[in-house]
A and B are shown apart, each in its own frame.
Chain A
Amino acid sequence: MRHELMRKNQALTATALLGPATIFIAVGLLAPLAILFRYSLNGFVAQTKTMVEALTIQNYVTFFTDAYYTGALGTTVRVALLVTVVCLVLGFPLAYVVARTQSRFKHLLIIAIVLPLFVGNSVRAAGWMVVFGNKGFFNASLMGLGLLSKPIEIMFTEKAVIIGIIAVNLPFMVLSLQSVIESIDRAVEEAAFSLGAPPLTMFRRVLWPLALPGILAGTILCFILAMNAYATPFLLGGPLFKMMAPVIYNEFTQKTNWPFGGAIAFILMAVTLSLTIAANMLLRRRDTRVSPT
């Protein structure tokens, strides 16, 4: 009887703890998503810019049959994958050094990594605009040194967007990796070396599999942030560059085509989720194959 009462109390406590967050998510996220999904099945009259009630998948069909929109999706996935790979390659050595350093300035290193997150994306993009312009810091310096005769076009190109998003996402990757690498005992690396493993083998057979949870967390975070990037592609990509988030914004605010904007938003969510799950499964399967146990 007492046992049952305790169980009941525990259940009540759990409900009380979970309740507020669940209600918040349900009201603040799921309800708008449900409304948006319903809108995405509505029609749109272009002449009057009005939404009309319907139940059709035409908006989804239009997206996949129009090269403009599939092109934007292709660019978004390509940029997100590239940014994630570059962040992993650049971030891993940095995270390793920060995790393993015994220096008394370690906390300063961590602050230096976190510091860019104190500045908003659009402010950082504005900074890049000063660097990338035809007479900006980069071109002016190289031309001043005589290394360039005419400026390289970086501003309003894909290059600018990729550099900008890498700068935004890199701290997320480094922090995810650093916390996991720190939890891996240095002794297992030394054991691999003492058994004659060269550094690359140690990395492949010991460090990589053990750091995999951090790698997964970092790459997923980085990929999702890049897929949904808005300010950086909008400000650095210019009017000719197309990524999904600015396209969605344009459909909602400029064309007031909420049904089509809703459909694109759901397509972006579905593609991001599917690719994330696929990458997760692939990495985990490879890990099980590589892992000695």
Chain B
Amino acid sequence: MAFMINRRTALAGAAALAAVPAAAADKKVIIGTWGGDYSRLLTKNIDSLLKGVEVVHAEENADPRKAKMMAEKVLRRGTTDVQGLSANDMYEVDQHGLVEHLDYSKMPNAKNLIPAMKYPYGIGHIYSGKVVLYNPDMMKAPEGFADTLDPKLGNKLGIIDIQRQYVMVAAALASGGSVHDFEPGKARLIACRKAGARIYPSNEAFAQALKTGEIACGIMWKARAVQWQNAGIKVETVAPKEGVPMYVSGFVMQKNAPNKEAAYAWLNAMMDPSAQKNFAIDMGYNPTVTNADVPADVAKRIGFTDEEKKRLVDLDYAYMAKTDAANQDWWNKSFKG
């Protein structure tokens, strides 16, 4: 018998091939996320709540994941469903038209979301604030950003390279600037650098330097300070008098996500009170829902007092996105040299 391929059999074959990934995709959701603790805790606290859905993590830092989203823009089907990004990155990818505007009615847990964490293009997952970290054995408590990002501290001040945008916000707040204008802070940072401020490539390298006494202070998320305190590092925090810049980390849905229904289910689980509570306990960030029953002692350590809450400052994501390329150039060429 001769084996004939005519138009009809070819079409049937193609349809069968197309149906295979579609059927598999129904049970699979792919989450783009940072690796390490964060990914591990997503598995422990969120993925475990989804029954009958296979959750796969595509682990990478935010920048390469954003670059991939950009490269996949023209594709009908992207390679991830959900991406974990900081609030300013969420804004930026939305500006590039890479993410789906969410239908909150598909996520019952969204009714408990703090309104400020509800973006049209994404959902805040955790939040913390940028505070001053110092070693009480090496210096007296600073009051804010101005006496921390201070050239007088010489090489006892540590600055984290990947926290560039937030260091620039802090320097601006300390120098008469604002979240809408980073320019006034630049001279202060250059003066600190000339005075010998140490620059570390990662949060972990900064923590190591705090631990060994190489540096006495710096600025970082309060949540990280809590984690490092838990790890035995001698470090105290101060909510800066100039204002506490907020850090929000959340999730967006890629516009060409292969499985949007599963993505909605995962996002809903992300806002589950138990998942939010466990993230607060495990990672020291504040929940973004109002019904997470965080133990009082944990809430006291990770949260902010009513007085401090008044000083929480949300960032100007539009300004940050617009000036980011130029500020990166300034940071690399003028600040780091």
Main SS of the interface on chain B? helix
**Contact (Cβ within 8 A) B326 A46:** yes
Q: How far is the CA of A257 from the CA of B63 in the complex (A)?
A: 12
Set of chain B residues within 8 Å of A235, measured between Cβ atoms: 201
Partner of B67, one of A50, A68, A256: A256
In the assembled complex, how far is the CB of residue B223 from the closest CB belonging to chain A, in whole angstroms? Answer: 23
B57 proximal to A (CB < 8 A)? no
Q: How far is the CA of A68 from the CA of B335 in the complex (A)?
A: 12
Set of chain A residues within 8 Å of B214, measured between Cβ atoms: 134
In the assembled complex, how far is the CB of residue A139 from the closest CB belonging to chain B, in whole angstroms? Answer: 11
**Contact (Cβ within 8 A) A252 B67:** yes
**Using a Cβ–Cβ cut-off of 8 Å, how many residues does chain B contribute to the interface with A?**
26
Q: How far is the CA of A252 from the CA of B68 in the complex (A)?
A: 10
Interface string of B47-75 (1 = CB under 8 A from A): 00000000000000001101100100000
* B323 to A, closest residue via Cβ: A47
**Contact (Cβ within 8 A) A134 B212:** yes
In the assembled complex, how far is the CB of residue B204 from the closest CB belonging to chain A, in whole angstroms? Answer: 11
Q: How far is the CA of A252 from the CA of B95 in the complex (A)?
A: 18
* A50 to B, closest residue via Cβ: B96
**Contact (Cβ within 8 A) B67 A255:** no
In the assembled complex, how far is the CB of residue B262 from the closest CB belonging to chain A, in whole angstroms? Answer: 28
Partner of B325, one of A46, A68, A135: A46
Q: How far is the CA of A257 from the CA of B70 in the complex (A)?
A: 12
Q: How far is the CA of A68 from the CA of B200 in the complex (A)?
A: 20
Partner of A255, one of B95, B161, B208, B325: B325
Q: How far is the CA of A48 from the CA of B320 in the complex (A)?
A: 11
In the assembled complex, how far is the CB of residue B92 from the closest CB belonging to chain A, in whole angstroms? Answer: 7
* A252 to B, closest residue via Cβ: B67
**Contact (Cβ within 8 A) A256 B70:** yes
Known A-B contacts A50-B96, A135-B212, A239-B161; A254 and B322 likewise in contact (beta carbons under 8 Å): no
**Using a Cβ–Cβ cut-off of 8 Å, how many residues does chain A contribute to the interface with B?**
23
Main SS of the interface on chain A? loop
B229 proximal to A (CB < 8 A)? no
Set of chain B residues within 8 Å of A156, measured between Cβ atoms: 201
**Contact (Cβ within 8 A) B95 A48:** yes
A200 proximal to B (CB < 8 A)? no
* A254 to B, closest residue via Cβ: B63
In the assembled complex, how far is the CB of residue A169 from the closest CB belonging to chain B, in whole angstroms? Answer: 23
Set of chain B residues within 8 Å of A133, measured between Cβ atoms: 208, 212
* B198 to A, closest residue via Cβ: A156
**Contact (Cβ within 8 A) B66 A253:** yes
Partner of A47, one of B201, B212, B322, B332: B322
* B95 to A, closest residue via Cβ: A48
**Contact (Cβ within 8 A) A49 B212:** no
* B332 to A, closest residue via Cβ: A68
A34 proximal to B (CB < 8 A)? no
A238 proximal to B (CB < 8 A)? yes
Q: How far is the CA of A30 from the CA of B63 in the complex (A)?
A: 26
Q: How far is the CA of A215 from the CA of B208 in the complex (A)?
A: 42
What residues make up the interface of B, taking CB atoms closer than 8 Å to A? Answer: 63-64, 66-67, 70, 92, 95-96, 161, 199-201, 208, 212, 214, 321-326, 328, 332-333, 336-337
Listed by A's residue number, 7 A-B pairs whose Cβ atoms lie within 8 Å are A48-B322, A134-B214, A250-B328, A252-B67, A253-B66, A255-B324, A256-B70
List 15 additional A-B contacts (Cβ < 8 Å) besides A47-B325, A238-B201, A253-B64.
Answer: A48-B95, A49-B92, A49-B96, A49-B324, A49-B325, A68-B333, A134-B212, A134-B214, A238-B199, A239-B201, A239-B336, A250-B332, A255-B328, A256-B66, A256-B70
